[in-house]
Structures are given as C-alpha cells and as structure tokens.
Amino acid sequence: MGGPAGGPGVDPDSTAQIITQSHTSAPRPRDTAAREEAELRDYRAAFAVARSAMALLSPEGDVLAANPALATLLGAAPERLAAVGAGALLGLAGDPHARAAFHDVLTGRRDRLRCTRRITRQDGAALLAEVTLSRTGANPLLLTVEDVGERDALREQLRHLRMHDPVTRLPNRALFFERLTDACDSAPGRGTGRIGLCYLDLDGFKAVNDTLGHRVGDELLAAVARRLLACAEPGGHLVARLGGDEFALLVRDSTGTGQATALAESVLTALQQPFDVAGQRLAVSASIGVVEREAPGSSATGLMQAADTTLYWAKADGKARWTLFDPERNEHRMTRQALSRTLRQAVERGEFVLDYQPLVALDTGELRGVEALVRWEHPHFGRLAPNRFIGLAEEDGSIVQLGRWVLAEGCRQARAWQLAHPAAPLVVSVNVAVRQMWDSDLVADVAEILADTGLPPRLLQLELTESAVMGSAGRPLQALHALHEMGVRIAIDDFGTGYSNLAYMSRLPVSALKLDGSFVQGFRSAEHPNPADETIVEALVDLAHRLGLTVTAECVENAEQAERLRRIGCDTGQGWHYSRPVGPDVISGLLH
C-alpha cells in the first residue's frame, strides 16, 4: 500500500507509542519493561499483518492507527485514514440510533457495539460490512470491519439452490410453503384478504418415465413448467414444482373463486397442445384441485390438505379437469374416514343393532319370515343405515367381523321367536357379503352359531348377491353346497341386476330368488303401466318355479303392486306396503 510496515499513514514507532500509552502508567523495573516491550512488538506485528480490517480509535472517535487490511477494504490512501472521524468513515451521520450507540461505547456507557452497516468506499462503491467497536480496558478503542457482502451473496445463492427445483428452475415445495404461509399470515386489511390455490398433477406422466426414460421425463416437466409460467405471469402468480409431476399455483389477493378457476382453465387449455420433447411428440393433461378462501384463519397445511383432496376428486371424476373444493363433499369424506377408523371397535363396543323387515305371503298375507337389517347406533352421528358403512366395512375387511355378529344376533332372535311362538316359526334372512365367502370359514361360523342358539337350520336363510355366486368355483361353491346340505336356505338377492343366468343357477344349491326392486317400480300405476316390466317379471317367476325356486318381490309399496305380483305368481313380498324395518318387539307383536 506504500505505507510503513506499521500501518498506512502511521510508522511503527507511532503505532507502538499509541499502544504503549494504554499500558504505561509508572516507572517499572528493567526486566518488566523489556518484557512489555516484547509484547508490544508482538501486538504491532499482529496489527499490521492481520487479515481483519482494524483501526485504533481515540476517545473522541478519531482513527489513531489503521492496518493495511482496512485501507484495502475501504480503497482509501493510507494517509487519509489517520485522524479521520470514524463516524464519517462508517456513515453514521444519517443514522441517529447507530450514532448514539457508537457514542455510548466511546464514553464508556457500554463496552461493545456490533452492527451491520452499508459503507461507501473511496471509489463510490457500496460495501456491506459488519462493524464491531470494543473497549480494550483503557484507551485506545478497537474498531474491526468485516465485509459480509460476499458472505451474504453466497448465502443467498445457496438459499436459491436449496429453494428451487433443479429440473424446472421453479420454486420448490419448501419455498412454496414459505410463500403460502406468508400469504395466510398477511395482516388483516392488506389486499383482498383472500387466497387461491391450484394444485395439479399430470395425468399419465408415469408412463412417459417408464417408456421413454427419466431424461425425457425431465425435459417434459421443464416444458410443462414453461407453459405454467406463461399462464401465471400475467397475474403475477407464483408457480412451484412440489415434487414428481405435481405443481402448484398460488394466487395472492384473490378476487374470488372465479379468478382461481379461470387460472385452472387456462392451465388445462395450455396443456392441450402436444409437447415436442427429445424428438418425441407427447401429449399430457392435468387434474387440478382448486381451493379459494379467506386468508385469515387459513393455514398452509389446511389449504394443501383441501387442495390434495380436491385433486383426488378431479382424478376420480375423470381426469383432465379442474374441481373446486366443496365443503359439503369434504364433510362426507371426513365422515367416511371417521366411520372407517372406528368400525372394528364399534362391533366390540356393541354399537350395532338389528331391525327386521317382514316377508309376507302374497296369496294369504301370512308372515313367513323377516330380513335382518343392521343399523349403527353411532355415539356422534346417530343411527346410520347400512348404506353409510357396509361399503366401508367391505373395503377394510371388518365386514367379516360385523357379518358374523349380524348372523349370530339374527339367529338368537329367531330362536327366541320360535320358542315364544312354536306354531308360527319365522325364517330369518341374513345378508352375506362376498368377503365373508372368501375371508372367513362361513360354514364353520354358521354351524357354530346354529349350535349355540339352537335354531333349526331350516329357519335360517342366507342372502347373497348374484355377483357373489355366479361363476363361483372352489371354496365359495363348496361352502354353498355344505350350507345347503346342512339345511340352510340360500337366496339370491337383487336378482335381475347382474348376470341373471338361470341356466347356471340351476346347478347351484339355491332355494329362492329376490327380484330387484327396479322391476316392481313398473307396477306403480294402473293408468301408466309398463307392459315390459310385467312381462319380464312373469317370465322370471315362471322360470324360477320351473327350477323349484321361490320368488320374493322387493320394494312393494302399495296394494295394487301386491295384487299384480300375486296374479303373476310371486310367492312373497317385502316393502313399505307391509312394514318398514322395525325392532324385534314389533315383530313379536305381529306373531300374537
């Protein structure tokens, strides 16, 4: 730098003299003076060669000595640093708060100051520096200046790499959640106070990766990202890649549902044109879940959960479309999940009950039997009909446990009726799910329950759907024959909606058919009869009787239907014309 070795503008002896002033107060023995002189030389050497930019300040804040590193950092001539006011050097004039703190250290009110300042170099360039001013126990004070601009730039560069997707160069999941959280936390009164979110997933993208490789897949993702940016840029919306083939678009200060759905529609339109990637012409579509709501009270996690649910609906509804979040539909989904989680425990807690619907002889009006229908007495949702939980039970396998309970309770009640009314024995008809045929030993269960309850096998009828028995082979077919040989009746429920293969059914141990209620609907009005329905039912009844099967008509709602079914030859009827499903006490009253 052209200055002496002790620092710019100050010779080594002067620097030593400045440092010595803080250590010299009285005459000392010769050996002590020699030792301190050696220490001072070490201080002077360290001060001169230190990589840290440093200066010694007077109590008034003037630079007494500066090392070469500080001169280089500030781009100033060495002689200009001596006797310069540190306040002007650090640009404290325009910052009263920093200037007051600086003065407190000079006057001894505080021992140290550390702050970040933007300093102007001699050549006019700006420098972001971390400044530290410390008291050394006596005069002078020590000032250190560290350039943090490069450090902050590197930190920002690393953050950018950490928060952006390398394939599409879009913000990644972490940055998107950061911006989404910030949007949710916006102060009330700022902007519209609403927020919109489009969460999309490419339809069939996995096939591209599997057939053409991940390199082509990555190129396709980058091309999709460019089209999404083109859709979002006019409105200044954020686009991010959340991972895989999932993207999201954030609408801050949404003007309403229409803005979010219009954005989703523009994305679908943009993706309709094929992509030319790596010599391949590829077509993709997207399913989009759209959520739009008030920002206050919303959370990033809640919004993403809602968007994910809505995206699932879009795929379930046929893909290549957007679907708007529906609170009512979501409530139904949440209810399904809540019911599914507690199904198994509900059986153990005894939350299920049985109602019974009469099966009545169409020719005499005599009560021939009852169908056992399960109800869930849910502690939160109240009484639930089978359509609310049977499908869930079949999905998670708890139908086996529930079905066995229904079978046992139905047989127990039928035995109680038999003992109380031996002259009027009732057949109890119990539904059996497909999974019960495959996932349990139904024959062993029935045998054990009949033995425990004492119910004669002839008073038990098991109802199975056509799909459960048509084409049966192996274990299910063996079970049907074993049950038949045991004396249990087998009925086909909802007959006419499935295979309706009477020729095949003639080889099964079936005792009865229950015609699906859709056939009976054509019998409702004498003024506008449906001849086709009556012809079909008459043919089915005649064929069933020729095969030795009895026929029950379901969903009989009035006397006219009952009479026409009787004339056709149906054996029994079931429906609201006779009775809704009722408790066992009501059935007992009918037997008197």
pLDDT (tens digit, 9 = 90+) per residue, 568-591?
999 999 999 999 999 999 999 998
pLDDT (tens digit, 9 = 90+) per residue, 234-250?
999 999 999 999 999 99
Prior bond of 140 cis (ω within 30°): yes
For range 187-208, the mean pLDDT: 86
Could you report how far apart the first and last alpha carbons of the chain are, in Å? 119
Alpha carbons 321 and 338: distance in angstroms, whole number = 28
pTM of the predicted model over 0.75: no
For range 89-98, the mean pLDDT: 80
355 has which bridge partners? 373
Q: Which of 157-171, 211-225, 350-364, 366-380 has the lowest mean pLDDT?
A: 157-171
For domain 163-325, the CATH superfamily is: Reverse transcriptase/Diguanylate cyclase domain (3.30.70.270)
> CB within 8 A of 96, min separation 6: which ones?
none
Alpha carbons 456 and 459: distance in angstroms, whole number = 6
Is the predicted pLDDT of residue 280 greater than 60, yes or no?
Answer: yes
Q: How confident is the model at residue 290 (pLDDT cuts 50, 70, 90)?
A: very high
The pLDDT of residue 508? 83
- Whether the Cβ atoms of residue 196 and residue 213 lie closer than 8 Å to each other: no
- Whether the Cβ atoms of residue 470 and residue 498 lie closer than 8 Å to each other: yes
Is the predicted pLDDT of residue 44 greater than 70, yes or no?
Answer: no
- Whether the Cβ atoms of residue 21 and residue 43 lie closer than 8 Å to each other: no
- In terms of residues, how long is the chain? 592
Count of beta carbons in the 10 Å neighbourhood of residue 234 = 9
Q: How confident is the model at residue 372 (pLDDT cuts 50, 70, 90)?
A: very high
The pLDDT of residue 552? 95
Is the predicted pLDDT of residue 16 greater than 50, yes or no?
Answer: no
Highest mean pLDDT among 119-128, 342-351, 404-413, 544-553 belongs to: 404-413
Q: Which CATH architecture has domain 44-152?
A: 2-Layer Sandwich (3.30)
Across 494-524, b (16+ Cβ under 10 Å) vs e yields: bbbeeebebeebeebebbbbbbbbebbebbe
Is the predicted pLDDT of residue 27 greater than 60, yes or no?
Answer: no
pLDDT > 70 fraction of the chain, expressed in percent and rounded: 86
More confident residue, 1 or 514: 514
- Whether the Cβ atoms of residue 91 and residue 110 lie closer than 8 Å to each other: no
Alpha carbons 238 and 131: distance in angstroms, whole number = 37
431 has which bridge partners? 463
The closest alpha carbon to 127, from 138, 136, 137, 119, belongs to 119
Count of beta carbons in the 10 Å neighbourhood of residue 536 = 16
Domain spans of the chain, in order of start? 44-152, 163-325, 349-590
The pLDDT of residue 261? 95
Q: How confident is the model at residue 125 (pLDDT cuts 50, 70, 90)?
A: confident
The pLDDT of residue 23? 47
The pLDDT of residue 94? 74
Q: How confident is the model at residue 39 (pLDDT cuts 50, 70, 90)?
A: low
Q: Which CATH class is domain 349-590?
A: alpha beta
Output the average pLDDT for the chain. 85
Q: Which helix (H) or strand (E) holds 336?
A: helix 327-349
Alpha carbons 286 and 306: distance in angstroms, whole number = 18
> CB within 8 A of 421, min separation 6: which ones?
591, 592
DSSP for residue 558: S
Mode of pairing for the β-strands spanning 63-66 and 53-57: antiparallel
For range 159-182, the mean pLDDT: 90
Is the predicted pLDDT of residue 288 greater than 80, yes or no?
Answer: yes
pLDDT (tens digit, 9 = 90+) per residue, 312-348?
999 988 999 999 998 888 878 888 888 888 998 999 8
The pLDDT of residue 3? 39
Query: Own/partner pairs for 12-15, CB < 8 Å, 24+ apart?
Result: 12/44, 12/48, 14/65, 15/44, 15/47, 15/48, 15/56, 15/65
DSSP for residue 187: P
> CB within 8 A of 265, min separation 6: which ones?
322
pLDDT (tens digit, 9 = 90+) per residue, 430-479?
999 988 888 889 999 999 999 999 999 999 999 998 777 765 555 678 88
> CB within 8 A of 31, min separation 6: which ones?
none
Q: How far does CA 14 lie from the centroid of its chain?
A: 71
- Phi first, then psi: give them for residue 553, nearest 5 degrees: -95, 125
Alpha carbons 43 and 15: distance in angstroms, whole number = 10
Mode of pairing for the β-strands spanning 427-431 and 460-465: parallel
For range 3-21, the mean pLDDT: 43
Alpha carbons 311 and 497: distance in angstroms, whole number = 33
